[in-house]
Every structure is written in C-alpha cells, then in structure tokens.
Amino acid sequence: MEKVILLRYGEIYLKGKNRGYFERLLLANCKKALQNYQCEITKSFGRYYVENFDILETDEIIEKLKKVSGLHSLMVANKIPTDLNEVAKLCAEAANDEGTFRISVNRADKTIASSSPEMAAYIGGVVLEKHPKLKVDLKRPDQEINVEFRENGFSYVYFKSIPCLRGMPIGSSGKGLCLLSGGIDSPVAYFRMAKRGMHIDAVHFHSFPYTSLMAKEKVLDLAKILAEYTGQMRVYVVPFTDIQREIHEKCPAEYMITIMRRMMMRIAERLATKNGCLSLITGESLAQVASQTQESITVTNSVIERLPVFRPLIGMDKEEIIETAREIGTFETSILPYEDCCTVFLPKNPVIRPKLEDIVAAENKMDYEPLLQSALDNTEIVYIE
C-alpha cells in the first residue's frame, strides 16, 4: 500500500473560466517548493497528489508545503485501488480498539452506484466487527476515518487534515515592493500581501555608520525567512544617512520622522516603478505611534504619485501582529536589539497631527532631489533565494 500526500486548494475554487491558470501556477509553486526532494506531483480533478517520495522525508515535505500560498490543507493518506471491501478492511486495520469513531466518505467518483452514507455505514459495520468495544459517534468522535473515492479509480484513507496557508498562489497578483524595517510589523505586512498572491521584493533604508552592519544583516535574515513563502526576492538596500543628516540640519526636529517617511516613500515609489512593482506595502497600523495617525499617514501618502500603498496591518492591534510574527517565524529575529534608522536623531516630541503645508514648507528648505538621486544610484541589490 502506498503513502501519498493529498493537497486541497482554497480560494481558487471561486475562480471561473481562468481557474486552470491558477491551478497550473499553484502546481508549479508546489513543485518549486519540493524541488530538492525526490517526488512526483500531479493534478487531477481539483486535487494534487504528491507521490513516490521517501517516507523518511514526509515531515520535511509537509513543512515545505505548509508555506505554499494557495493550499488549503493536506492529508497523508493510504492509497489503494477502489474496492469497497478492501477499503473497509484497511479502515478496520487502522481503527482504534476502543473509544468512539466515525467514517466520513467523499464519493468524488460518481460512477460508484452506492451513496456516501451507504458506504460509510458498510465500512463502519466492518470496523465494528473487528473492534466490538468501539462505538460510533458522528458528532465528536475520538477518531475520524476519512475515505475519498476519487475519479482516478483509487481510494484514499486518512485520519487528519493539516491546515495550510490558504490564500492565492504566489505570482497570480503581480509584484509589489515592501518597505522592510527590522521591526516586528513590516515582515508581517509582507507575509499578508504575499498570501494574496503577490511576489514581493523589499526595500530597506539604512543609516550606516549611525546604525550598525548588524542592523542590515538582521533585515537580510528576515528577508530569508520571508523568501520561504515567496520563493525568492530582491532586497534593495538604500543608503539613507545623507538624507537623514540633511533633514536633521535643515528641518524642525518635530518634523524629522514625517519628512523621513516622505523621503522613503519617494525613493520606494521610484524603485518600484523602475522594477515592475505595482504597489508599495508598509507595516503601518493606525494609531500605533505618532507617525501612524490619520493625519501623519495623509502627509506621508501625499508624496506618492501613481502607485497604491497597501497597509495590510492598518486595522490590526499589536498583539495580533505579534501572533502572526510568531507563526511565520520572524518574531525572534525582529526583536533582536539592533537599532533602526528611525531611532537615529529621534526627536523627543514628534508631531502627531502634521499639517501638509507646514511639512512641505519645512521640506523645501532642503535641496533633496540630488540626495534622493544619489541614494538611488548607490542602492545595493541583494538577491535572496
């Protein structure tokens, strides 16, 4: 008897005529995720099947598949040619000796004459014959034995379904650019948009030597963790020191952060348009800090000329964000104590409700265009696989 992994996909089900496109893309992404493992992945009638893999690598394969966006769940199943008696025998062998159980049947193969409840009742009878102490409980069984009679002439028996990421296949929603700091929030923002099918590159602003090289390494480490979800990404590392110094010298201290954000947005939008990214992504969450009030976001956002800025965390509280950061594996790296460029020249009282006219007037005291250009010219590109 053969062990196979059954993959079920999520939201793609809602797609109409172009469902085939999404299914093929998801299949290609699964193959890429498992490229270092010997196995075969095929698609048939709305399911994928991973077969001919090394049983000892099952857990590793499952871990990889759990990071593939677009999969709803996976099941490790026993596969046998469809034959009700053989299936019933297999279920009886696998059943516990005591407690309660339930047989759940999925009759995808419509050529079978018996109905699902009839087959479940028959299999249940065979199980009870072998285990007289067992009891049926359809509501809350200790053990659920699932049987799928598939269209390909095979039946699959499994006991549990492992939840996957859900979402849409990476690459189905175009490319975006995420402003990635070393903090807790922006990696979560990256992940949430990746789950909607975006391929995402990152831009990081660093202020060497005010911030250490370790701070940059930390961001690249975060990028490596995130690339496990997107396959690969580019990180644009932008030197931000000269711009920050200029703002510090020419602008009122309380506007420092607001103006810094506007400069970051300007650079990010230019990088994005030049490299085929169709949106910007930030980790802002309303009211979390002074620079994330509605007024601050309005002033920051107003430098953006053409792209949408996605802020997937805008309605989440810190606790929820941290929960996701833990789940996706970025939290422990995010809390390493290396300073971010935003902590350099940090004013004691940043403006909480900036007025656009005041900020623009302050900004116009500096000749920032050449500085932006120089930062772009000196941007380093790091490729993460």
Binding site for ligand ATP (CB under 6 A): 179-181, 183-186, 203-205, 282-284, 288-289, 291-292, 340-342
Alpha helices in the chain (DSSP H): 19-33, 58-65, 84-94, 116-130, 185-194, 213-230, 241-250, 256-274, 294-301, 318-328, 331-334, 356-363, 368-377
Cα–Cα distance for residue pair 241/216, rounded to 1 Å: 13
Binding mask 320-359 for Mg ion (x = CB under 5 A): --------------------x-------------------
Q: Which two tokens stand for residue 65?
A: 């598949």
Cis peptide, bond prior to residue 308, ω within 30 of zero: no
Residue 189: CB minimum distance to ligand ATP, A: 6
Regarding 187 and contact with Mg ion (CB under 5 A), the answer is no
Task: State the binding partner of 199 from ligand ATP, Mg ion, none, CB within 5 to 8 A by kind.
Answer: none
Residue 109: CB minimum distance to ligand ATP, A: 50
Nearer to ligand ATP, 204 or 218 (CB): 204
Cα–Cα distance for residue pair 62/54, rounded to 1 Å: 12
Regarding 282 and contact with Mg ion (CB under 5 A), the answer is no
Task: State the binding partner of 148 from Mg ion, ligand ATP, none, CB within 5 to 8 A by kind.
Answer: none
Nearer to Mg ion, 92 or 179 (CB): 179
Q: Which two tokens stand for residue 9?
A: 């996909």
Nearer to ligand ATP, 64 or 311 (CB): 311
- Tell me which residue has its CB nearest to ligand ATP: 183
Tell which positions 126-185 bind Mg ion, by CB under 5 A. 181, 183
Cα–Cα distance for residue pair 184/328, rounded to 1 Å: 11
Pair 342, 248: CB distance under 8 Å: no
Q: Label the pairing between strands 135-136 and 100-107.
A: parallel
Task: State the binding partner of 204 from ligand ATP, Mg ion, none, CB within 5 to 8 A by kind.
Answer: ligand ATP
CB within 8 Å of 366: residues ≥ 6 apart: 246, 247, 250, 251
Residue 176: CB minimum distance to ligand ATP, A: 12
Nearer to ligand ATP, 108 or 309 (CB): 309
Nearer to Mg ion, 171 or 183 (CB): 183
Task: State the binding partner of 284 from ligand ATP, Mg ion, none, CB within 5 to 8 A by kind.
Answer: ligand ATP
Pair 341, 206: CB distance under 8 Å: yes
- 141: closest CA among 105, 179, 89, 103? 103
Q: Label the pairing between strands 233-239 and 199-206.
A: parallel
Task: State the binding partner of 288 from ligand ATP, Mg ion, none, CB within 5 to 8 A by kind.
Answer: ligand ATP
Would you tell me which residues interact with Mg ion (CB under 5 A)? Answer: 181, 183, 340
